[in-house]
Amino acid sequence: MSKPKIASDWMCGCAGCHMSLLDMDERILKIVELADLRATPITDLKEPDESGVDVGVLEGGINNSANEEVAKKMRARSKILVALGDCAVFGGVPALRNFCGVQAALRRAYVEAESNEEGSQIPDDPELATMTETRAVHEVVDVDYNVPGCPPDPDTIFYVLSELAQGRKPKLKDELLHWD
Task: Note the pLDDT of residue 66.
Answer: 87
> Mean pLDDT across the stretch 1-14?
84
* Structural domain includes residue 138: yes
Mean of pLDDT values over 148-176: 88
Residue 142 lies in a domain: yes
Q: What is the rounded distance in angstroms from the CA atom of residue 138 to the CA atom of residue 35?
A: 25
- The CATH number of the domain holding residue 34 is 3.40.50.700
Residue 119 lies in a domain: no
DSSP 90-111: H-TGGGGGGGT-HHHHHHIIII
* R_g of the chain computed on alpha carbons: 17
The answer to whether residue 87 scores a pLDDT higher than 60 is: yes
Q: Is residue 162 part of a domain?
A: yes
Crossing angle of helices 154-165 and 27-34, in 10° steps, is 20
Total-model pTM: 0.81
Q: What is the pLDDT of residue 138?
A: 95
User: Region 136-163: what's the mean pLDDT?
Assistant: 92
Q: Which of 71, 51, 92 is nearest to 143 (CA)?
A: 71
What is the mean predicted confidence (pLDDT) over 138-150? 93
The domain total for the chain is: 1
Please state, in angstroms and rounded to a whole number, the distance separating the CA atoms of residues 164 and 31.
10
Least confident span in 61-65, 110-114, 138-142, 161-165: 110-114
Average pLDDT value for residue range 79-97? 86
Q: What is the average per-residue pLDDT within 34-38?
A: 85
DSSP states of 107-174 as a string?
HIIIIISTTSPTT------HHHHT----B-GGGTS--SEEE-SSSPPHHHHHHHHHHHHTT------G
In a domain, 71, yes or no: yes
Max mean pLDDT range (104-108, 138-142, 169-173): 138-142
* Residue 16, pLDDT score: 75
Helix (H) or strand (E) holding 55: strand 53-59
Whether 83 is covered by a domain: the verdict is yes
- The residue segments making up the domain with residue 27 are 5-95+133-170
Residue 45 is predicted with a pLDDT of 56
Mean pLDDT of the chain: 83
Specify the DSSP class assigned to residue 58: E
Domain membership flag for residue 118:
no
Tell whether the model's pLDDT for residue 8 goes beyond 70: yes
* Residue 23 within any structural domain of the chain: yes
Question: Residue 178 has what pLDDT?
Answer: 62
